[in-house]
Amino acid sequence: MNSLRRLPFTQFDVFTSRALEGNPLAVFPDGRSLSDDEMQAIAKEMNLSETTYILPRDAAIEKERGIRVRIFAVQEELPFAGHPTLGTAFALRGNSGASEIRLELNVGTIPVRFEVKPGQPAFGEMTQNDPVFGEIHDVKKIAEVTGIPAGDIDSDFPVQTVSTGVPFTILPLRGLGQIRRLQINQGRASEYLSASSGKFFFCVTRETVDPAARLHARMLFYNGEDPATGSAAGCAAAWMVQHGIAKPEERVLIEQGVEIKRPSKIFVRASRGNGRVVNVRVGGNVVEVLRGELSF
Q: Could you list the active site residues? A: 50
The span from the CA of 199 to the CA of 203, in Å, is 13
* Buried-exposed string 50-60: b where 16+ CB fall within 10 A, e elsewhere: bbbbbeeeeee
Coil, strand, or helix at residue 177?
Answer: helix
Whether residue 251 contacts residue 268, with contact meaning beta carbons closer than 8 Å, is answered with yes
Long-range contacts of 99-105 (CB under 8 A, 24+ apart): 101/67, 102/65, 102/66, 102/67, 103/66, 103/67, 103/68, 103/69, 104/65, 104/66, 104/67, 104/68, 104/69, 105/69, 105/70, 105/71, 105/79, 105/80
In this structure, are residues 152 and 183 in contact, taking their beta carbons and an 8 Å threshold?
no
